[in-house]
Amino acid sequence: MLRYHKDIDYADFSEDQFVVSKIRRAEIYRSWADIEDLANGYENLNGNFEKHRTVTSNAFQEIVKLIEKIKSECMQQINGI
> For 14-71, how does the pLDDT look when each residue is reduced to its tens digit (9 = 90+)?
788 888 888 889 888 989 999 999 999 999 999 999 999 999 999 999 999 999 999 9
Per-residue pLDDT, 81? 65
41 lies in which domain range?
Answer: 10-80
Residue 5 lies in a domain: no
Residue 50 lies in a domain: yes
Per-residue pLDDT, 59? 95
Per-residue pLDDT, 58? 95
Per-residue pLDDT, 38? 95
First to last CA, the chain: 81
d(Cα 63, Cα 56) in Å, to the nearest integer? 11
Angle at 34 between CA 30 and CA 38, to 5 degrees: 170
- Number of compact structural domains in the chain: 1
Residue 20 lies in a domain: yes
Of 24, 28, 34, 30, the closest CA to residue 13 belongs to 24
d(Cα 9, Cα 57) in Å, to the nearest integer? 53
Residue 36 lies in a domain: yes
